[in-house]
A and B are shown apart, each in its own frame.
Chain A
């Protein structure tokens, strides 16, 4: 049995969780067709809809943990729920997306079970011994790692696999109230600030995305990029460092821990192109990179490149676009 921790957003399975299910199905097939089951923690607005969606992605059974113990997020509490689901299903593999939640909860699970955990797995080879390949050094290198204890616990790097349907009919739904010890409730979320408006849906569906990274230089460095995006009828996407420094909101992030975009044209400005970011933009049809460093990974992997400072190049492009539209200099 393979158990997948499925995260949800607005009642639907998160894309990274569906990607994890794709890897889990491949692993299940390699193991001779073992069933894939899901564990969902917390309340779900429409269980029937989620059961149907997960069934489309090859899940036979869903175990939903409910009750006071998991009402607020806590790494230990959620891990207690996953641990109980693992014991009930006798799963020999427990996996989750390599998201903030996924890495945290499975680290707790591995510590509780005293087994190794592999973070950010991209592939597996062989079942005995079970060897996984995972991203290290921010994706600049890979590690082959043995996972020879059971359960094998690992997370799947965001966007390393593609979500794909494999219908088995709606998944059977079970609920359970996990037994969460008081000590596991000590480090739980006590309050959540109101979320800023989330525009990541329009980012994921945009035909044109203009991106900016550390090269923007600060929170004030995004105006030309936003203007170019608007002129092209597109959206703004940013790299992880930009959101972790608080320069732009998290929902604009493109990459492994952000959105995966598939536009006709992506224009990354001042983005070096680390794997973390590349994983989210590699499916763009055409990439035009603008960067001062001609050897930056983004510049060599792109379809087109302009060598230069985004603070000079982007305003010049904006001016040229306006000139051709209105026929006058501005």
Chain B
């Protein structure tokens, strides 16, 4: 009966061209659209599997603007059973603010008799790349933290997580409750079903306001790296380019 809280962040899709807002404080996702990171997609998947395996439940949480309800609905459609939305402007929040707000939800739910056994987050947000919200959350809640896990299983009152370390695949065995940050790759995220989408619409999202004035991200401004001039000489298109490529190898004197 593992009760899992999965935290997701609405981020601009950065797979294409990245555009900044006029004030240079955020990435402008108006044209590219919004999503959650691959790490978080895997965290949602892991959460659902853990809950299914133990007859437990998944609650999904986001700290973000009103539109971030889209990302909550997407996770609900996959199998999360409840959602919490802390409404805040992400550009005004630093990593410690986000950890503070998540911790406040965890404590309030615990006080209401709905304690979580496991909090899953992505290893790092694909926009702000702070690499620290899961760790700060663990300290705020006084819970053990495993970062960069690609798989996690609950056995009894412990979570067994695996992560890639410099010396090989590392195993952690940590008593619940715990905080685990997830790196993509260990599980294949599922797709929503029509039935899941329909069911998700009926779930009421718990909406909350931040519990403190944010400290902020210490951000001066965002910048885009200077565009690199296109310098490549195109040798050709498709397989027909092979002779020109091998000519190049011969000119460079490689492969002989």
Contacts and interface: CB of A to CB of B under 8 A. Distances in A.
Contacts of B241: 306, 308, 313, 316
Interface string A230-256: 011110000000001110001000000
A299 B255 contact: no
A275 B14 CA distance: 13
B242 A119 contact: no
Interface stretch (A24-32, A62-70, A85-93, A110-118): A110-118
A313 B136 CA distance: 48
B218 interface: yes
Interface stretch (A33-41, A99-107, A166-174): A99-107
B234 interface: yes
Contacts of B240: 316
A193 B254 contact: no
A319 B242 contact: yes
Interface residues of B, number: 75
A111 B139 contact: yes
A98 to B, nearest CB: 8
A36 B235 CA distance: 49
Contacts of B194: none
Contact of A131 (B174, B220, B230, B243): B220
A288 interface: yes
B220 to A, nearest CB: 4
B242 A317 contact: yes
Contacts of B1: none
Given A186-B174, A288-B245, A250 B164 contact: yes
A286 B147 contact: no
B144 A312 contact: no
B66 interface: no
A141 B223 contact: yes
Interface string A1-22: 0000001010000000000000
Contacts of B228: 297, 300-301
B112 interface: no
Given A316-B242, A319-B242, A143 B223 contact: yes
B36 interface: no
Interface stretch (B82-90, B127-135, B201-209): B127-135
A301 B185 contact: no
Contacts of A117: 95, 130-132
A147 B218 contact: yes
A71 interface: no
Contacts of A244: 150, 183-185
A320 B242 contact: yes
Nearest to B224: A141
Nearest to A189: B170
B129 A120 contact: yes
Nearest to B125: A136
B249 interface: yes
Interface in B86-102: 94-96
A100 B173 contact: no
Interface of B: 14, 18, 20, 27, 94-96, 124, 126-132, 135-136, 138-139, 142, 144-148, 150, 164-175, 178, 183-185, 217-225, 228-246, 248-249, 252, 254-255
30 contacts: A75-B145, A107-B135, A108-B139, A111-B138, A116-B95, A120-B131, A136-B128, A136-B129, A140-B225, A141-B20, A141-B223, A145-B220, A146-B219, A148-B218, A187-B174, A189-B172, A193-B169, A195-B167, A231-B255, A233-B255, A264-B252, A288-B235, A288-B245, A302-B231, A304-B248, A305-B234, A307-B237, A308-B239, A313-B239, A320-B246
Given A116-B95, A145-B217, A186-B175, 8 more contacts: A9-B166, A140-B224, A187-B178, A192-B165, A275-B225, A288-B245, A306-B236, A316-B240
Interface of A: 7, 9, 73, 75-76, 99-101, 103-104, 107-108, 110-112, 114, 116-117, 119-120, 131, 133-138, 140-148, 155, 183, 186-196, 207-208, 231-234, 244-246, 250, 264-265, 275, 286, 288-289, 294, 297, 299-309, 312-313, 315-317, 319-321, 324
